[in-house]
Amino acid sequence: MGDERARWATMGNHVRLSWGHVLVESIRRLSPGYLISANPIMFTVELGALLLVALLAVPGAVPPRMEFFYASIAAILVVTVWFSTFSESFSELQAKARVDSLRALEKEIIAHRVTDVGTEDVRSSVLRPGDRVKLSPGDFVPRDGFVVEGAAFVDESMLTGESEPAFKSKDDHVLGGTKVISGSLIVEISAEAGKGFVDRMMDMVSSARRPRTQSEISLSILLGVLSMIFIIIVGSLYFTLYFMGYRPDVAMSVSLLVALMPTTIGGLLPAIGIAGVSRLAKDGIVAKSGRAIEASGDTDVVILDKTGTVTEGNRSAVEFVPFNGYTEADVGVASFMASMNDSTKEGRSIVELAESKGYVPPSPLMDEVLVSRRIEFSAETRYSGIEFIWSRKPYGPRDFQRFSGPGERVVNRLLEMRVRGEGARVIKGSVDVILGMARPGNPGDVERAVREVSSRGETPLLVAVNDEVIGMVVLKDRVKPGIRERLRELSDMGLKIVMITGDNPLTARAIAEDAGIRSVIARARPEDKLKAVEEEQSLGHIVGVVGDGTNDAPALAKADVGLAMNSGTAAAKDAANMIDLESDPSRIIKVIQLGKQLLTTRGSITTFSIANDVAKYFTILPMMLLAVDPRAAALNVLHLYNPETAVLATMIFNAIIIPALIPLALRGAGFSAASPRRMLVRNVLIYGLGGAALPFVAIKAIDYLLYLLLFVR
């Protein structure tokens, strides 16, 4: 995990972002056709600039000796709009460059196509229906098809959500993207390129659309209402002065309108998006859009996929169950020996559980275990273990020393076999296979135990010594360490947590209880997961989805916040608007906390912008009236030099405040998870009062500089 994170940090610092492309894109977005739908506030500002340019082009339309003033105002307005489009272009192209860099790490599946003379390695994209491919352990199925030869266990968890490997044999259907765990297969490709299971999931992804969040809608309504009010005010003022016999200046009227409109927050919204993308990137989370991060602050429902998200995605040993008078230690020691050479995660978990309980063979028997013959697990046999060779010289009765300790019944039985030179083997495997090879002491006890374990959604493996069943190992898809505590943090923040899975209800409920999750949806198909998201959204909830399988892709696409694991499928990562390179689902907490901080920042900057507008109103309006009536000089409380310098100073301040506040947007206004409302009130007071005072000081200073530059020789 650390190496992956370090690699991403390096990659994130060296993302190939073309500044020329950013510049071109920012200029392209100056198009009125784009701005009218993407940013109506900046569209209005640009419209004012175009009006002034049009007046400059018409002879006599501009008052004498005012051409420079009109041109300066028009240029400042264009620069104001460009600051906004540049920030937006930079944010989106930077995020896209990071995702493109991540996708470049993915490799196409190489298939072993069967030919008349053997096999040849080809790319999966060149396979056609009817081609046959050979699959060995560790190989990925290149495309949907049917088994024509062989048998194997196939891991379909990344597609179907089922954690238990599926047994595939002749005529069974296999899905592209699944992985062969054990055994071998010859598969005949049945799906054309672009028409497999994964492609159908991607079609669902492309048809899913993310709705706007409630906070985005509310802010848009607020800014729209304020803009309309200011347009009405400025328009009414202009025509009132005109009908009173005055000649109000068009450039000053446009400047007054721009000064009143909330251009600061309109221009800084992309910068807030940059903050989320950049800060998450440092922690190894790829965010495709800053808007998705902002939506995470409103999230109140989180839907988690079970396999690989809440759980480790692999069955692990959790219990040893003895039969026929044997003890738990007997079963544990035997299971340890049967799993010593088992390199699978299940086998390693059995060894770890036995070691944790102290169920390890004593040294005389361990020496024999180390030189024993390994019995490999295969899809056909469905069992594994060891067969003792008794490689040392023959033993007599005097060589036998009875062992006293954990597992003594099994240990002493095997040591006695060594003395007598009898063959001995210890195996574990599926219930039906072991019962066909060994006898249980009490079949009723075994049947009841197997039924009880299965009813809990767990998997039983029987353990046998030679022809006697001595016990059972219980396997369970174990929850990830620490996930319960992390999910409790989400609950404490008021979020509803839902676990959704393709597993059976018994397994799903057991896992949910271990993870501390109350809401569970089991046996879910891709359509059901998408439906669950839509139902929550229809109730007004903002939904976050965490997943890693292709079956999660439609829900990830529809959700307001979709966080995919980097260990997941390409379909899931394409559908999501965020990718966690460390594949830790609990890190959605970090995403949500950052989202809430961004909401606080946006609220603070909105307050700052509105306070700015009020202050700028009291600088431009008196000078606008002074331009038509000298008696308004009493309103010039800042003692600005003249109406032209005052308006230019205000417009310059209005433009430069956008890039000046970008560091604040990137750093954030501060957030405390324990008391977000208190933090918001504090920030509103700080940025509200600061936003009202700063313009008076800054505009006065800029006005004085303009006086020195333009009028002092």
Which structural domain, as residue segments, surrounds residue 645?
Answer: 2-103+209-297+591-710
Q: Are residues 510 and 614 in the same domain?
A: no
Residue 380 among known ligand-binding residues: yes
Q: What is the pTM of this model?
A: 0.56
Q: Is 381 part of any known ligand binding site?
A: yes
Lowest mean pLDDT across 427-441, 581-595, 670-684: 670-684
How many Cα atoms occupy the beta-carbon half-sphere of 358 within 13 Å? 3
Q: What is the CATH number of the domain that holds 177?
A: 2.70.150.10
Asked if the model's pLDDT at residue 399 lies above 70, the reply is no
- Is 687 labelled as part of a ligand binding site? no
**Helix axis angle, 67-103 to 263-282, nearest 10°:** 20
Which of 307, 200, 324 lies closest to 585 in space, CA to CA? 307
CA distance 697 to 640: 11
Q: How many domains does the chain have?
A: 4
pLDDT tens-digit series, residues 239-277: 888 888 777 788 888 888 888 888 887 777 766 666 666
| Percentage of residues in the chain having pLDDT higher than 70 | 83
Measured CA to CA, the distance from residue 542 to residue 537 in angstroms comes to 6
675 is in an annotated binding site: no
Report whether 544 contacts 299 (CB < 8 A): yes
707 is in an annotated binding site: no
User: Is 428 annotated in some ligand binding site?
Assistant: yes
Residue 382 above 50 pLDDT? yes
* Helix and strand element counts for the chain (H, E): 26, 21
Q: Is 116 annotated as a binding residue?
A: no
Higher pLDDT, 100 or 669: 669
Tell me if 383 is assigned to a ligand binding site.
yes
At 588, is the pLDDT very low, low, confident or very high (cuts 50, 70, 90)?
confident
CATH number, domain containing residue 454: 3.40.1110.10
Q: How far is CA 682 from CA 133, 271, 603, in A?
A: 65, 22, 11
pLDDT at 292: 74
Q: Where are the alpha helices (DSSP H) in 379-430?
A: 408-420
Q: Last residue of some domain: 416, 450, 473?
A: 473
Residue 515 shares a structural domain with residue 616: no
Instruction: Confirm or deny that 342 is annotated as ligand binding.
Output: yes
- 485 and 394 within one domain: no
Residues 228 and 267 in one domain: yes
339 is in an annotated binding site: no
On the question of pLDDT at 328 being above 70, the answer is: yes
pLDDT of residue 16: 59
Residues 157 and 8 in one domain: no
Query: What are the tens digits of pLDDT across the range 498-546?
Result: 998 776 676 678 788 888 999 998 877 767 888 999 999 999 999 998 8
Same-domain check for residues 164 and 235: no
User: Residue 280 in contact with residue 94, Cβ under 8 Å?
Assistant: no
* Residues 454 and 492 reside in one and the same domain: no
Q: Specify the higher pLDDT residue, 646 or 87.
A: 646
Q: Catalytic positions, please?
A: 305
* Confidence category of residue 355, pLDDT binned at 50, 70, 90: very high
Query: Is 379 marked within a binding site?
Result: yes
Largest Cα span, the chain = 128
392 annotated as a binding-site residue: no
Residue 553: closest CA among 537, 588, 577, 586 = 577
Q: What mean pLDDT is predicted for residues 364-376?
A: 88
Judgement on whether residues 287 and 327 belong to the same structural domain of the protein: no
Using an 8 Å Cβ cutoff, are 562 and 573 in contact? no
My answer on whether 443 and 578 are in the same domain is: no
Chain mean position to CA 416: 58
Instruction: Please state, rounded to an integer, the average pLDDT across all residues of the chain.
Output: 81
CA distances from 146 to 139, 142, 186, 601 (A): 16, 12, 9, 55
Q: If you ran DSSP here, which 8-state letter would residue 425 be given?
A: E
Residue 388: what pLDDT? 92
Asked whether the predicted pLDDT for residue 676 surpasses 60, the reply is: no
Question: Range with the lowest mean pLDDT among 129-138, 283-292, 527-536, 701-710?
Answer: 283-292
Q: Please tell me the predicted confidence (pLDDT) of residue 105.
A: 37
Per-residue pLDDT tens for 27-51?
Answer: 998 998 888 887 888 888 999 999 9
State whether 338 and 486 are in the same domain: no
Q: Which segment of 160-164, 364-368, 413-417 scores lowest on mean pLDDT?
A: 160-164
H or E stretch covering 180? strand 179-189
Cβ-based neighbours of 20, under 8 Å, separated by 6 or more: none
| Residue 335 host element (H or E) | helix 328-339
Residue with tokens 């062969």: 180
Q: 188, 207, 226 — which closes off a domain?
A: 207
Single residue among 166, 188, 207 that ends a domain in this structure = 207
**Do 148 and 166 have their domain in common?**
yes
Of 95-99, 234-238, 261-265, 663-667, the range with the lowest mean pLDDT is: 95-99
End-to-end distance of the chain based on CA atoms, in angstroms? 66
| Per-residue pLDDT at 428 exceeds 90 | yes
- CA quadruple 433, 437, 438, 439: dihedral, nearest 10: 80
How would you class 617 by CB atoms within 10 Å of its CB: exposed for 0-12, middle for 13-18, buried for 19 or more?
Answer: middle
What amino acid occupies position 51? L
382 belongs to an annotated ligand binding site: yes
pLDDT tens digits, one per residue of 533-579: 999 999 999 999 887 777 778 888 899 899 988 767 777 888 888 88
Residues 616 and 688 in one domain: yes
Report long-range pairs for 382-385 (Cβ below 8 Å, ≥24 apart). 382/429, 382/430, 382/433, 383/427, 383/428, 383/429, 383/430, 383/433, 383/434, 383/437, 384/338, 384/339, 384/342, 384/347, 384/427, 384/428, 384/429, 385/337, 385/338, 385/425, 385/426, 385/427, 385/428, 385/429
